[in-house]
Amino acid sequence: MNNAIHVPVFLQLVGILVIIAEIIIPSGGILSLLATGLFGYSLYLVFTNISTSAGMVFVLADLFIVPILLYFGIKFLAKSPITLRTKLSRENGVTVQSPDQNDYLGCLGLAITDLRPSGVARIKDERLDVMTRGEYLEKQTEIVVIAVSGNQIVVKQKD
Q: pLDDT digit string (tens) for 142-151?
A: 999 999 887 7
Helix axes 6-24, 30-45, angle to 10 degrees: 170
Taking the model in full, what pTM does it have? 0.48
- Residue 7, pLDDT score: 86
Residue 26, classified by CB atoms within 10 Å of its CB into exposed (0-12), middle (13-18) or buried (19+), is exposed
Q: Is the pLDDT of residue 3 over 60?
A: yes
Q: pLDDT digit string (tens) for 4-24?
A: 788 888 988 898 888 888 877
Fold designation for 95-157: OB fold (Dihydrolipoamide Acetyltransferase, E2P) (2.40.50)
- Residue 96, pLDDT score: 59
- Residue 20, pLDDT score: 80
- Residue 93, pLDDT score: 64
Per-residue pLDDT, averaged over 54-74, amounts to 85
Residue 105 three-state SS: coil
Show me where the domains of the chain are located. 3-79, 95-157
Residue 127 three-state SS: strand
- Rounded to whole angstroms, what are the CA distances from 145 to 55, 96, 130? 72, 19, 9
Per-residue pLDDT, averaged over 24-47, amounts to 86
